[in-house]
Structure formats: structure tokens, C-alpha cells
Amino acid sequence: MLDPDFWPRVEAVRAIRLPGANPKVTQVYRAHLSFHSGADVPARTVIVKIPAEDPDHRGRHAAGRVYEREIAVYKLLRTAHGSSLAWLYAAAYDESSGMGAMVIEDLGAADPSGGLVPPGSAGEVVSYLALLHAAFWESSELAAAGWLRGTKHLDLWGDPPGLYPPGWRRVSKRRDVGDRLHRIGDALVTRLPAVLAELERRPRTLVHADLHPGNLMWRHEPHLPVVIDWQGAAFAGCTSDVAKLFLHMRPEELALHEERLMERYHGLIEQAGIASYPYGRFERDYRLAQAAIFANYAIISPPMGAHVDLAIEASMARSLRAVSAAMDAVFPVDFDWP
């Protein structure tokens, strides 16, 4: 797969499977490459992403164009390679099977975001998101791109809203669920379908759609956010990215900085030429996206998520705690539900 114009012949490969990726979707390896002594090469370690090992899972995600989607996003954003995106060294996609593989830059030396996003980092990601979203705002090319996910139940990842009430019953029994979150959770039992319907009417752009800290890394020089794992990318509303990012901040920091960060994002898309999205509508869409994202975490809360890899289940549990605490801190108790 590696272009011989840039890479000498690889003499040996030592691959180590990396934890953290959802094994139902993909396998991720760090490959240590050996070349002839003294060879000038772009990198001596790379990340290799290939489809899931289980044939049923692999086939289902291939049918959903998951592998095609990530490769297509990397090609679409090729001017960002080496900055806010990892270098794409090689990619192969088989249209008949829907299977794809990628060889990308190893960002192991970059800093992972960790469990929660600090305000300063959130501001840098907001600047990146605003420019990304503005560049593809209501793009006719992306509207016709069948490989992108659409708007329907975007923040639920395709799950039907009928799964929310039993999920909320599980979550509502937790001791750390405050009074404000109880009121929000109870309201969503009847309001969630209308929330999702209103979210489908947002202006559309390219969104990552799963912008939690596990999908963020940082370059050192210059200090830049690097967004990884674009398998869930969609042509949908920008507030799904903004809301998910902010819901993974410490609740006390979010309460202090939320309005400033929202104004920064909206001001940047206006500066980039997006004049048709008034702040009031953006703010409402942001709150609706927060509600839908919380509903998603309630749906996948254990035991719903107990069938997945233990590391993934632990990550889901951490996100549920973070999102619940953030919602309890900032979501308006007098919100005008649809």
C-alpha cells in the first residue's frame, strides 16, 4: 500500500494491537517498520486500521459504509494532513465488499486529551471546528455524498428513541443524579422524538459526530488539536460536535466558560461568512443536541452496553458520568422543550 516514490522497501514489520478501539468496528495496530540501514523514510512507526475481526460485525459495518467513510473523510480533508489530521500514508478500499484499510501517521508522541477537556483546549478545538464547519456549510457536494451519515437520529447513532425510557430508568437510580438532571431526564421520556425531529432541521455541514476526548490528540509544535476516528462522520448540524465536546468538560468549568465558548464559535463561523444562522437558533440547537447526546448515553448505559469490550464499557461509563454531571450543571431548568 505504501507509495514506493516516498517509501523504500519495508524489510520487516512488527505489529502491536492497540487497545481503545471498538473491536466490533475496527482493529488498530502500531506497526514498527524496518528498512535498509540509513534509509530516509517518512516514519518508522505507523498506525494501521483494518476492519473488525468478527465477520458478522465486519460485514455489518462494511454495509453501513463505515470503512469507506473514514477513508473518504481523510481524502476530503487532505490539506489538513500533518496538522489537525494525521497524515494518510496509504489507503485501500474495495467497493464490492465495502472493506477498507488505512496506514496513517502514528500520533503516539502527541498528547492524548485524557478524560475531560480543559477550557483552554476546548477553545482551541472550537476554533478548529468553526473553520471546518464553515468550509462545508450546506455543501451540495456533501449533500450528495452517500458515504456520509445523515441527520436522522444522528446523536442516538441510529438507535430508536423508544430505547430511551428503559435507559433513563437505569440511569435515574444512580446516586450521583441530581434534581436538575432528574427533571431533564423525565422530560425527555416524552419529548425526545420531538427533540430529534427539530435537530433534523438544522443547517448541515461536515461533522465528526463523536467528538469526545478519546478522539482528540494534540501536536506539540505548533500546538494543535488533532481529531481522529472519523468513522461516524455525518452531514448534519454543527451543534452535535460543539455539544459533545463541551459535555466532556468539568461541570464547574463548563458553567464558567460555556457562554464565552459558544460566542467564540458562533463569532468565528460568522467571520467565515455564515450569516444565515442567528445566535438564538444556534443556542437552541446546542441545547437540543445536549439533550439528545445525554439520551444516547442513557440508552447505551449498562446493561445495554454490557456485551461490548470491557475497556469500551468502562469508557462509556466515564462518558455517562461526565455528560450527566455537565447536564446537571448547565442545562436550563426552564428550557422550552419542543
**What is the residue-level pLDDT of the chain in tens, covering all 338 positions?**
777 767 888 888 999 999 878 888 999 999 999 987 667 888 889 999 999 999 999 999 999 999 999 999 999 999 999 899 999 999 999 999 999 999 999 988 655 655 788 888 899 999 999 999 999 999 999 999 999 999 999 999 989 999 999 999 999 998 888 889 999 999 999 999 999 999 999 999 999 999 998 899 888 777 889 999 999 999 999 999 999 999 999 999 999 999 999 999 999 999 999 999 999 999 999 999 999 999 999 998 876 544 556 666 777 788 889 999 999 999 999 999 99
The CATH class for the domain spanning 111-330 reads alpha beta
Angle at CA 251, nearest 5°, toward 245 and 256? 90
Q: Are 249 and 217 in contact (CB under 8 A)?
A: no
d(CA 170, CA 190): 17
In sequence order, the 6+-apart residues with CB closer than 8 A to the CB of 19 are 311
Residues 6+ apart with CB under 8 A from 216: 112, 113, 117, 121, 125, 225, 226, 227, 228
- The answer to whether 285 and 199 have CB atoms below 8 angstroms apart is yes
The pLDDT, as a whole number, for residue 110 is: 58
Q: Please list the residue range(s) of the chain that carry CATH number 3.30.200.20.
A: 12-105
Three-state secondary structure call for residue 189: helix
Q: What is the DSSP letter of 247?
A: T
**Predicted model pTM:** 0.94
CATH superfamily for 12-105 is Phosphorylase Kinase; domain 1 (3.30.200.20)
Q: What is the dihedral of CA 123, 120, 331, 318, to 10 degrees?
A: 110
Record the cell numbers describing residue 310, joined without a space: 470491557
Residue 297 has phi, psi (to 5 degrees) of -65, -30
Where are the domain boundaries for CATH 3.90.1200 in the chain? 111-330
d(CA 4, CA 41): 11
pLDDT on residue 311? 65
